[in-house]
């Protein structure tokens, strides 16, 4: 049953669990897509809303340009009108996932299987989405969440560099590369210093700024992961 307290972002975890159990790698908030699930080159996209709407249908039809399969993800409606909704979605080639809420337990169920989209029209956009999803180490975002900073692959790489500098002190891009971090992207990130997390200590040598140190404390899950990678205990 839908209650006013339920938020769109609460759909994410049960839907993620559903696809993870099938062997998909699931990431949230990837270049405008609420949820992406990737397995063996197949891209599944799920757009989330508390209930069915024209806006949700419009979003999902747009995602058919890039995804092999596209689902609408909603809470199970109060009125038993899933049959009518299913007929419309089948005509559009879209799938439907509903999330049931019983007390504090949420479970996702596929009601309508989507059509398999064999005609991808936005190939470049699809490549960008897959590359972004696969470049993220940890899924720190929550699908459907609003007014929250999204952990992009660029932000994550910047954070990993900050963790390296915290542990090893001022370093050159070449030194950072030895830790397995992409040297070309590292040089660009350090030079642009988009977030203000780095200091130019001397020619070709960079350190971490106070703002960068604060960022490490704000993104605790990723910071813990990279501190362990670079050998620093919290």
Q: Which alpha helices (DSSP H) does 181-229 contain, by range?
A: 183-192, 210-218, 220-229
Q: pLDDT of 196-219, one tens digit each?
A: 999 999 999 999 999 999 999 999
Residue 1 has pLDDT above 70, yes or no: no
pLDDT, residue 230, reads: 81
Q: What topology is assigned to 8-135 in CATH?
A: Trna Endonuclease; Chain: A, domain 1 (3.40.1350)
Least Cα distance to 12 among 152, 140, 156, 154 occurs for: 140
In tens, the pLDDT along 149-192 reads: 889 999 999 999 999 999 999 999 999 988 888 767 899 999 99
3-state secondary structure of 97: strand
How many Cα atoms sit within 13 Å of 229 on the Cβ side? Answer: 20
Q: Which carries the bigger pLDDT value, residue 101 or residue 234?
A: 101
Alpha-carbon span 15 to 97, nearest angstrom: 8
| 91-142: pLDDT as tens digits | 999 999 999 988 778 999 999 999 988 889 999 999 999 999 999 998 988 8
Range 153-229 classified under CATH 1.10.10: yes
DSSP annotation of 10: G
Burial (Cβ within 10 Å: 0-12, 13-18, ≥19) of residue 114: buried
Per-residue pLDDT tens over the stretch 192-201: 999 999 999 9
Predicted pLDDT of residue 233? 43
Please list the alpha-helical segments (H only) found in 93-182.
Answer: 123-135, 153-168, 173-177
Q: Is residue 87 scored above 50 in pLDDT?
A: yes
CA distance 168 to 215: 17
Question: Taking the domains of the chain in order of start, what are their residue ranges?
Answer: 8-135, 153-229
Q: Give me the pLDDT at residue 147, please.
A: 66
Across the chain, what does the average pLDDT equal?
91
């Amino acid at each position: 049953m839908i209650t006013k307290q339920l938020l769109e972002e609460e759909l994410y975890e049960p839907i993620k669990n559903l696809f993870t159990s099938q062997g998909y790698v699931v990431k949230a908030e990837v270049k405008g897509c609420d949820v992406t699930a990737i397995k063996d080159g197949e891209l599944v996209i799920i757009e989330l809303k508390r209930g069915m709407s024209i806006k949700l249908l419009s979003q999902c039809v747009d995602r058919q340009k890039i995804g092999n399969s596209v689902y609408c993800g909603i809470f199970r409606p109060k009125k038993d009108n899933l049959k009518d909704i299913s007929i419309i979605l089948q005509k559009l080639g879209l799938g439907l996932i509903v999330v049931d809420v019983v007390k504090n337990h949420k479970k996702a169920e596929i009601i309508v299987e989507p059509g398999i989209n064999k005609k991808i029209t936005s190939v470049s956009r699809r490549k960008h989405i897959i590359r972004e999803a696969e470049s993220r180490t940890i899924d720190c975002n929550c699908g459907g969440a609003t007014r929250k900073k999204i952990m992009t692959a660029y932000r994550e790489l910047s954070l990993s560099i900050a963790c390296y500098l915290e542990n090893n002190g001022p370093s050159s891009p070449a030194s950072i590369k030895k830790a397995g971090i992409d040297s070309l992207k590292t040089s660009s990130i350090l030079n642009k210093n988009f977030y203000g997390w780095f200091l130019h200590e001397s020619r070709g040598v960079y350190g971490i700024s106070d703002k960068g140190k604060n960022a490490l404390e704000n993104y605790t899950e990723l910071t813990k992961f990279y501190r362990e990678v670079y050998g620093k205990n919290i």
